[in-house]
Amino acid sequence: MIVRRTLDHAGLRIWWGSDSPDGETAMTKSTEELLRELESSGVLSGSAEPARVPSRSTAGAVRAPGERGSSSGLVFLVVAAVIIGLVGSLPFGSYVLYPFSLLVTLVHESCHALAAVASGGTVRSLEISPNLSGVTNISGGWRVLIAPAGYLGSTVVGMILLITRMRAARWAIAALAAFPLAVLFFFQPATLFTAVWAVLFAAALAGAAWKLPARAVEFLQIFLGAACGLNAFRDLMTLFFISTSRSGIHTDAATMSDVIPLPATVWAVIWTAMSLMMLVGALALVVRRDMRRIRVR
């Protein structure tokens, strides 16, 4: 049934039926009923406004009543970077950030282990230490792939967390729990310290993905992404200074030099540049996404 309302000089006519009133039955209303309807709709008082149809540029921004707007990834990223930089510089700030730094170490060593397995090698053991260092004992595999996997793998994990849309934050945090679980079940934790922290990380990440409020888990996603990316970049800067100091410390860059005869310092610079490009690219994507969201609003 189609309702057609027409307004002419004689007044208001309401038709029930097809578009043409000819030959159809017209259902009329009393004058009093029509006046009441016109007054209630504001037609007689002149207060009625024509209905607004969302344009193409704003149609996607219309939200259902009670629906929460999306969070700002850029704001979360700035806050996370300030917390990591400011709190980390305080006398006891390193203790506050200690679990997150230890998680980044576990991700770093897990990336070495994953690269070894992917290239046909075997992981004999994996260890993270209280001083935030780590060792992965590997047999076989391609050293050219395994050596840079720790630093660049941590950067890639951070980049993925940063660029993943925050509506998938719970899935992103749950996926991150795969790293400590892999250490427990596939990479042979070498010490009780490693095993205990792997259990704690897996439980904490799974619990956060399951129970935290939406905004909190979205911020955690960005914070962990920033922690992985910034810590990887900081560690690469440390690697550069170690490589230039000729301290005799055997590093991943020295291992790479054994495979491809370039100075360890050169490899440190190459990896640092690659890490920086990935982080800048992730930042640019976050900014672009937020600007697009603001324009749509």
Whether the CA torsion 273, 275, 277, 283 is positive or negative: it is negative
* Residues 6 or more apart whose Cβ sits within 8 Å of residue 20: none
pLDDT at 41: 56
Between CA 25 and CA 30, with CA 29 as vertex, the angle to 5 degrees is 140
Q: Which residues of the chain have pLDDT under 50?
A: 1-28, 47-51, 53-69
Q: What is the pLDDT of residue 274?
A: 96
Under a CB-based contact definition with an 8 Å cutoff, are residues 94 and 101 in contact?
A: yes
pLDDT at 37: 60
pLDDT of residue 52: 52
Burial grade of 292 (CB within 10 A; 0-12, 13-18, 19 or more): exposed
The pLDDT value recorded for residue 296 is: 63
Domains of the chain, residue spans = 1-35, 73-296
pLDDT at 92: 80
Q: What is the pLDDT of residue 63?
A: 39
- State whether residue 180 is helix, strand or coil: helix
- pLDDT at residue 51, as a whole number: 47
What is d(CA 104, CA 195) in angstroms, rounded to the nearest whole number?
15
| Per-residue pLDDT tens digits for 209-222 | 999 999 999 999 99
Residue 38: the pLDDT is 54
Q: Tell me what pLDDT residue 235 has.
A: 92
User: Which contacts of 136-143 are long-range, i.e. CB under 8 A and separated by 24 or more positions?
Assistant: 136/109, 136/112, 136/187, 137/190, 138/112, 138/113, 140/116, 141/115, 141/116, 141/117, 142/115, 143/255, 143/256, 143/258, 143/259
Q: What is the pLDDT of residue 7?
A: 42
Q: Based on the number of CB atoms within 10 Å of its own CB, is 181 exposed (0-12), middle (13-18) or buried (19 or more)? A: middle
Cα(209)–Cα(174) distance, rounded to whole angstroms?
Answer: 6
Identify the pLDDT of residue 250.
Answer: 86
